[in-house]
Amino acid sequence: MTEKRLTPLAASLPATVPFVGPETQERARGSTFAARLGANENVFGPSPSAIKAMERAASEIWMYADPESYDLRAALAAHHGIPSECIMVGEGIDGLLGYLVRLFVGPGDMVVTSEGAYPTFNYHVAGFGGALVTVPYRGDHEDPEALVARAAVVGAKLIYLANPDNPMGSWHSAKTIQSAIERVPAGSLLVLDEAYVELAEDGVAPAWDVTDSRVIRMRTFSKAYGMAGARVGYAVGSPEIIAAFNKVRNHFGMNRAAQAGALAALADQAYLEQTCRNVADGRERISQIAAQNGLAALPSATNFVAIDCGQDGTFAKRVLSALVSQGIFVRMPFVAPQDRCIRVSAGRPDDLDAFEALLPKALTEARG
């Protein structure tokens, strides 16, 4: 009876989620993970001032949050030097991607992305009946030139590009990204996912130009700011595109405490800088552990490192499964040839101690 009540589109879709959460895996295992290094979470956590702000806001949680996120948008506008009407706050980048796809994609509309790129975007496209067209990675990087060229051929409504990239941690220069923006074909919109950009070196993010309606940029408090569980993201674009979100968004979707925490986190740039140093140290440690085991770590501008296991996806999956069985939660890319890698978050020293101790055993088991 349920299937008969669903729309034909919904009935045709699989009941799934893009990622199997660590909690689901812990329930299946019957025990918790010793090190949680698979979800690209920032284990160093949010600024202490953000925690205090959320604690204060907890006593006011009986009130709805400001549906306009006025204070946070104003603070972001001042931080980036752009008008607040060019910013939309939402329930993480994932939530904003859902609204964006709903606004631009109908049944049969073409959307271009990289094969093996962030799957939640694809999930939204499928949910609104869009048709995904993919292009391959080039040298473990998304290929902006190929994405834009393919969009011109198929008449894509949206083009998805992450910089830095998930799942590989690779990146392009601001110059390369700006060149892609300037070549976006008429009728297309480039969705530039910059979830990890605060963790990258200077020269990765183009200058802001909110008059350019060819691109919308996504940022988040989940990664460098350490607030993944709060679900706070924001989109930056031309005023007319940003205003369109008000047609479809959940106006009371934002958590009041999360808004307060994000506002305080944004104000504590010193803590953000320390977190970025901690993440850089974690990336270096992961690279050292990989080298100790005869593996190669890919360069990363994110809070995780992709480790090339030296064989194919089947072997990498065995390594991953062996680590998970020993209590180390990691993930891996979905599509060849990137699936030759496992992906490890830049954890605390004790997290990486556990990974270092158990990786040799996992490799032995995978090779056996």
Superfamily of domain 17-45+270-367: Aspartate Aminotransferase, domain 1 (3.90.1150.10)
* CATH class of segment(s) 48-267: alpha beta
Peptide linkage before 164 cis (omega within 30 of 0)? yes
Q: What is the pLDDT of residue 2?
A: 57
* 19 or 208, greater pLDDT: 208
Q: What is the pLDDT of residue 197?
A: 98
Q: What is the pLDDT of residue 291?
A: 98
Q: What is the pLDDT of residue 3?
A: 62
Token representation of residue 132: 């995904």
Q: What is the mean pLDDT of residues 350-368?
A: 97
Q: What is the mean pLDDT of residues 50-79?
A: 97
pLDDT in tens, 161-209: 999 999 999 999 999 999 999 999 999 999 999 999 999 999 999 999 9
Residue 342 φ/ψ, nearest 5 degrees: -110, 160
Q: What is the mean pLDDT of the chain?
A: 97
Cβ-contact 177, 159 below 8 angstroms: no
What CA–CA distance (Å, rounded) separates 294 from 151?
Answer: 40
What CA–CA distance (Å, rounded) separates 4 from 185?
Answer: 40
Alpha-helical runs (H) found in the chain: 2-5, 8-12, 22-29, 48-58, 70-80, 92-104, 119-127, 144-154, 174-182, 239-244, 256-267, 269-292, 313-325, 349-367
137 Cβ neighbours under 8 A, 6+ residues apart: 114, 115, 116, 143, 168, 338
Q: What is the mean pLDDT of residues 9-27?
A: 89
* DSSP, res 228: G
Domain ranges of the chain: 17-45+270-367, 48-267
pLDDT in tens, 92-105: 999 999 999 999 99
C-alpha dihedral sign at 244, 245, 247, 251:
negative
pLDDT band at 242 (very low <50, low <70, confident <90, very high): very high
